Structure 1
Amino acid sequence: MADPTSPGRMERVNPSASSPDPRQGAFWRATTVVYWYVVVEGCFLLAAAPGFAGILLLERDASNIPLYALCLLPLGPAFSAAVSTMAARMTAEEPNVWPRFWRAYARNLGDVLWVWVPALAIATVLGTTVAFGAAAGVDLFFTGAAIVLLVVVALWASHALMIASFFRFRARDIARLALYYLAAKPLVTLGSASYLVLATAVVAFGSDWMLALTAVVFAAFAGANARPMVADVTQRFTADDG
């Protein structure tokens, strides 16, 4: 009988051990990235569809500012879910994007609305003041102050959305943290200002639908831009489970 430990014995080779994992290839990674972007964009459009339907029916007129604000109401939770989902892309092992988005949407909905609704209400008042200030005889100083406040509210709302997307804080704590980080993280604030300006330019020189179809790109950029703020909030204002 041959010695099973002799060098002449053939060893059984596991085929899976020698074959490369297709998920490590460049083509797989590229198609996965495209898949994430396409599915998240589709989920965002579906979640924000009521608002987009209203915007489509409105004329671009200053008198419709309150109606525009009402149509923007569904966009806050939808954008927050897109940010959360895109932020999870780097650590997710499986591309189960569809359920991940809707879990994030349901989880963030309440916190986002608590900050998104007041931001829209204040922006509506300020926007109406800017649009009709001259006709109503409002002093130029107050119109300029309304423009500055409108920019601050937009930046504050951007920070508040990011914090509400990643943390479960009380609404007043989210509001205070968002205001604090306007000055505490100036580079994050500058990044928020840059994509808000870009979004405004897309709408002004393109169309509302062009902005809607690139929302996932803005969500990915917003999440990446907010990382220093999110890391600081995690370190300073959350409990260490360990």
Structure 2
Amino acid sequence: MSAAGAVRRPSRVFGDGPLSRACALVHTLLTIEALLLATLAPGGAGLLLLGADPGNLPLAAVCLVPAGPGLAAALYAVHHRSGDLTELRPARTYLRGLRLNSVAALRIWVPLLAWLTVITYTLTHFAVTGLPGWWAALLAVIGVGSLLWGAHALVLTALFTFRATDTARLAGYFLLRHGRATLGAASLLIVAGAATLWATEVLPLLLAPLLLLSLLHTSRPIITETQEEFTA
């Protein structure tokens, strides 16, 4: 074939190949993991001191307050990650997400945490309540539904700027409208719960970036509809 008839292949830029994108993803997730652990470290230390006594549940909830802003910042950083190995700034993105979303995340996270604490405390002391057994099952279902609502609310808080009431309403609206996204969030909760029961409480935290990446993937219909229907 003559030089004139040869097909010229486009040159590949450094950082554009599949291996580079994989390395960029690993670097991003590890950086987010380290920053999330740093954000949760004070509360984690408090949980270690409290131990597993059910009577300490209110204090444990206080220790978990930083988890809301931390998870929202991690979701923000994972969503805005760069696939270019030469343009990686995951730490800066995480800190930007922490600065932008902390207040909004707390407005959703603190009431949810308080509600879940009441449910968990009631279930752990259910024998002394005198309530019929079906109440325990009902409370468990309400608790799981609250966690799924919280997963949707966390995604909305991390990626969009709404009032807390609007975020709460949208999360409840999407809970039934996008059943596949809700089932995806439920499967991630099952994975996190199984890892806690069969291994250690630390394992879900170590897997948090991967779980959040999966949550973003399953929440894609929610993110798309929110962008198209509820933002200017």
What's the TM-score once normalised by structure 2's chain length? 0.90
Q: Which of structures 1 and 2 has the bigger CA Rg? A: 1
Cα displacement (A) at 1:217: 0.9
Higher mean displacement: 132-141 or 112-121: 132-141
- Does residue 209 of structure 1 match 2:202? yes
Deviates more, 1:28-37 or 1:106-115: 28-37
Per-residue CA deviations over 1:113-149 (Å, capped at 9, x if unaligned) read 1110000011111111111112232221222221111
Deviation of the 1:61 alpha carbon = 2.7
- Supply the AA of the counterpart residue of 1:75: A
Deviation at 1:68, TM superposition (A): 2.1
CA deviation after TM superposition for structure 1 residue 19, in Å: 7.4
5+ residue gaps, structure 2, are: 1-9
State the partner residue of 1:40.
Answer: 32
1:176-206 CA distance string (max 9 Å, x none): 1111111010001001111111111111111
Deviation at residue 21 of structure 1 after TM alignment: 2.5
Q: How does 1:29-68 map to 2 (within 5 A)?
A: 29-68=21-60
CA distance in 2: counterparts of 1:21 and 1:182, whole angstroms: 42
Identity in percent: 34
Divergent runs of 4+, >4 A? 90-93
The amino acid across from 2:24 in the alignment is: T
Whether the 8 Å contact between 1:84 and 1:104 is mirrored in structure 2 is: yes
For 1:237 and 1:91, the matched residues in 2 are separated by 28
Gap regions ≥5 residues in structure 1: 1-17
Aligned equivalents of 2:11, 2:157: Cα separation in 1: 44
> Which is worse superposed, 163-172 or 213-222?
213-222
Structure 1 residue 159 displacement after superposition = 0.8
CA deviation string 1:59-112 (max 9, x = no partner): 223222222211211111111111111111256771011111100111011111
Which residue identity is paired with 1:70? V
Number of aligned residues? 222
Range moving further from structure 2, 75-84 or 86-95: 86-95
In structure 1, which of residues 125, 130, 146 is the aligned counterpart of residue 123 of structure 2?
Answer: 130
Is the CA contact (8 Å cut-off) linking 1:133 and 1:139 kept in structure 2? no
TM-score normalised per structure 1: 0.86
